[in-house]
Amino acid sequence: RALAVPAAVLQLRDFLLVYNRMTELCFRRCVSDLGYRLLSRREERCLDGCAGKLVRANHRLMGAYVALVPTVVQRRNARPEDGAERSAPRGPAVPAAADASPVGT
């Protein structure tokens, strides 16, 4: 249970980093006139399109990542213990119980 809090904090941090990057990118692309409080219709359409495009791209990337994780974990489990930790790809932590299960049972 002690590991759940840091993992949640890391996930929140990662989400906020992506959100902030997306916001900054779309703002720079779409907002050209800071002389008014409200966005123009053109700016609103641009922001909607920009944010939508980035959200769809993020969903596709996450789908590919989720599909790839089992292969990475399987390869990691097949490696000898001495070099596995050094060359293992970074990503979400795999629970110890999943790593300890014998192959083929």
Identify the structural domains of the chain with CATH numbers, from first to last.
4-92 (1.10.287.810)
Taking a C-beta distance cutoff of 8 angstroms, is the pair 30, 47 a contact?
A: yes
In a 13 Å sphere around the CA of 47, the CA atoms on its Cβ side amount to 13
* Residue pLDDT, tens place only, 32-46: 999 999 999 999 999
pLDDT of residue 8: 85
CA distance 69 to 56: 20
CA distance 105 to 96: 17
* Residue pLDDT, tens place only, 4-34: 568 889 889 999 999 999 999 999 999 999 9
pLDDT of residue 6: 84
Q: Does the model's pTM come out above 0.75? A: no
**H or E element: which one contains 39?**
none
Residue 76's closest CA among 51, 61, 98, 54? Answer: 98
* Residue pLDDT, tens place only, 52-104: 999 999 999 999 989 998 998 888 888 866 554 555 455 544 444 334 433 44
CA distance 55 to 19: 10
